[in-house]
Structures are given as structure tokens and as C-alpha cells.
Amino acid sequence: MLKFYVGKFLQYFLVIVLMLTLNFLLPRLMPGNPLVFLAGEDVGFMTSEEKNEILDKHGLNDSIPQQYISYIKNIVTGDFGYSYQQKRSIADLLKERMPWTLLLAGLGLVISTIIGVMFGALSAWRRGSSTDANLLTMFMFLSAMPSFWIGMILVSIFSAQLGLFPVFGAESGWSNLTGMDRFFDILRHLVLPLTTLVLISVTNTFMIMRYSMLNVLGEDYIMMAKAKGVRDRVIKYKHAMRNALLPVATVFMLSLGFMLGGATVIETVFAYPGVGRLMFESVVSRDYPLIQATFLIITFSVVIANLLADILYPFIDPKVGGQREK
């Protein structure tokens, strides 16, 4: 068991090292002026003094290994560099934007899992029925829709046409709301992006839950429970769901990667001030250091989520938990 954890840990460590290295190499290997990649396209307007300062800061005059070491050192100490376009330290920008993304992706993860699990279990329970067929078709269509397009349609209908929800942002910036008012304001801004995120991610959970539940329902112990005279409801929730949830639990945390990726696109549609939107802004303005930093922070979050999933899993599966005790 310990070996398993060491292996996993090494794997995640490797992911991070590889991604850091990729990030280090990209601006240095791409054809063109590395200055552009390190400081954004504004370098054209810089004086040679400013350019030299940047070259010095990134140690571009040093040897590559030296540059690499100082690059890693900076990242480890939380220094993600400076956005010459936003004229701010990138770490500050990330700190400001991260909570919004975590709010959106976290809530999205929880809600889509609950909905997916419920419908997946229902579908499997009524396998072969028209309910099952309809749910399957509906969820398959949902997963075929581009996420940003769902968002745009929702905005068109509910914000632009019906005026029910705000069009963009995470809160009404200039109103200086406080307390509960602010809470509800944030909630109103959250509804559409959250709905979109749930709609695009729920199919995954639904499919896994349905498949897993179908497998479980075919198991002998379900027939045994029935033979014991256990009522259907109890079989469904106590015997079947509990087992069928195990595979869902393994993908729960892993979906966070998908969520954060999805958030990138959805935040863009709703101009939601999260890390994803920040990535889009930096792509549009070709602010390369910022693109890299947002990518890194998303990757870090995903790796941490993966690690958490591995650590928590034994607590829900007695089979694995037991082996760990031994």
C-alpha cells in the first residue's frame, strides 16, 4: 500500500516537474524573440534599458541550467513573475482570481455529481425502460454541445431577452453591497455560469454511475438481498448505491481537471473574473508569462485534487481500507 502511495506521489511530482520544464522551455525554444514570450508583445514599446532589466531579471544572459534553477526557485517561492501588460505581479493576480474559479468549479463539481448520480442510478434501476432511454438520449445530446455555446444561449435567453440574470461578472462592482445583499448578488451572478458548467459535466458522472449501477445490480449480492426479503428501496440505496458510488468517487476529484478546463471557456463567456478568464485575457493580449502562470496554477490544483482523491479513497472502500491497515 505504501508502495502505491510512493508511486502515485512520484507520478504527480513528475507531472509538475515536466510541466514546469515545458513552461521553462517554451519561451526559450520558440522561434522569435524570447523577450516577447517573457514580457508580452509590449516589448516593442520598451526602451533598451527596460529590455535589459527584463533580460537580467530572467537571467537570460546566464547559462541555461542556471536559468532553470533560478526559474524553479522563483516558482517554489511563489514568484510567478510580472505581467508587463497588467502592470502587476502575477501572483497577486492569481490570488485575486483563484477564489472565483474555486467557487465556480467546486460548486459545479458537487452539483453535477449529485445530479449525475441520481439520474444515473434511476436510469440503471429502470434499465430498458423508456425513462432509461430518454435520460440516455438527453445526456448524450448534452455532452455533444459545446460548453461555451450553452453559456451563450443561456445568456441570450435568460439575461438578454428575459432580463432575469446579470449578463457578466461575478458581482455588481460599483454597488458596494455588503452582508446578505452581497451574498445574493454573487449568487445571482453565479447562476448561469454554474448551470452551464453543471450541464456540460453532468453527463460524465451520469454515464459512470449508470454503468457502475448496472454492474452492481447484476451482482449476486443484490439478488441475495432480494431473496432475503429486503425492500426494493433499501436494496437501491443501501446495497446497490453504496457499491455503485465507488467508481464515481474515484472520478469525483479527477473531474476537477475537466471542471477547471471547462471553467476556462465558461468564464470567458460570462466574463467571470476567475483564473480561466484570466487565461483567456492573457491569450488575447499574448501576455505569455501570464498564460504560463495560469496554466501552472490550474495544473497544480488538478494534481492536488488527484492526490487528495488517492488519499481519501481508502476511507470509502472497505476493501482498500482493510488492506491499508494490514
Partner 1 sequence: MKSNRWGYYWKTLSSSKLGLFGLSILCLFLIIALFAPLLAPFNPMERVGQPFGEPSSTFLLGTNDVGQDILSELIYGSRISLMIGVIAALISIVLGIIVGIVAGYYGGKVDNFLMRVVDLVLVVPFLPLMILLAAFIGPSFWNIILVISLISWASPARVIRSQVLNLKTKGYVEAAKSIGTKASTIMLKHIMPGVIPIALSQFVMAASSAILIEASLSFLGLGDPFVKSWGTILYYAQARGAFLTEAWLWWVLPPGLLITTLVIGFAFTGYSLEEIMNPRLRKER
Partner 2 sequence: MGKTVLSVENLSTFYKTDKGISRAVENVSFTVEEGEILGLIGESGCGKSTVAQSILRLIEYPGKVVKGKVFLHEKELISASEADLYDIRWSEISVIPQSAMNALNPVHRIGEQIMEAILIHEHVSKKEALDRTKVLLELVGIDRERWKSYPHEFSGGMKQRVAIAMALACYPKMIISDESTTGLDVLTQSQVIALLKDLQRKMNLSIILISHDLPMVTSISDKIAIMYAGKLVEWASTDDILHDARHPYSRALLDATPDLINRDKKIVSIPGTVPNLVNIKSCCRFHTRCPFAFERCKVEEPELKEVKPGHFAACFLEEENHELTYTS
When CB distances are held under 5 to 8 angstroms depending on the partner's kind, the choice from partner 1, partner 2, none that residue 260 binds is partner 1
Minimal distance in Å, beta carbon 65 to partner 1? 22
On the 0-12 / 13-18 / 19+ scale of CB atoms within 10 A, 32 is exposed
Residue type at 157 in one-letter notation: I
* All cell numbers assigned to 169: 461578472
Contacts of 278 (CB under 8 A, 6+ apart): 93, 94, 97, 290, 294
The neighbour count for residue 227, using CB atoms within 10 Å, is 9
Tell me the angle at which helices 90-125 and 288-316 cross, rounded to the nearest 10 degrees. 40
Residue type at 232 in one-letter notation: D
Question: Given the complex with partner 1, which of 140 and 224 has the nearer CB atom?
Answer: 140
Nearest to 275 by CA among 255, 258, 290: 290
Nearest to 201 by CA among 277, 312, 107: 107
Stretch that binds partner 1, among 54-62, 238-246, 285-293, 318-326 (CB under 8 A): 285-293
**243 makes contact with partner 2 (CB under 8 A):** yes
When CB distances are held under 5 to 8 angstroms depending on the partner's kind, the choice from partner 2, partner 1, none that residue 299 binds is partner 1
DSSP letter at 317?
-
Question: Given the complex with partner 1, which of 127 and 182 has the nearer CB atom?
Answer: 127
Contact code string over 99-138 relative to partner 2, x by CB under 8 A: -----------------------------x----------
When CB distances are held under 5 to 8 angstroms depending on the partner's kind, the choice from partner 1, partner 2, none that residue 322 binds is partner 2
Stretch that binds partner 2, among 8-16, 96-104, 207-215, 228-236 (CB under 8 A): 228-236
| Residues 213 and 246 sit within 8 Å (Cβ to Cβ) | no
Q: What angle (nearest 5°) sits at the alpha carbon of residue 79, between those of residues 63 and 311?
A: 110
**243 makes contact with partner 1 (CB under 8 A):** no
Q: Which residues bind partner 1 (CB under 8 A)?
A: 11-12, 14-15, 18-19, 23, 26-27, 30, 37, 140-141, 143-150, 152-153, 155-156, 159-160, 167, 214-215, 218, 257-258, 260-262, 264-265, 268-269, 279-280, 283-284, 286, 288, 291-292, 294-295, 298-299, 302-303, 306
Sites of contact with partner 2 (CB under 8 A): 128, 219-221, 223-231, 239, 242-243, 246, 317-319, 322
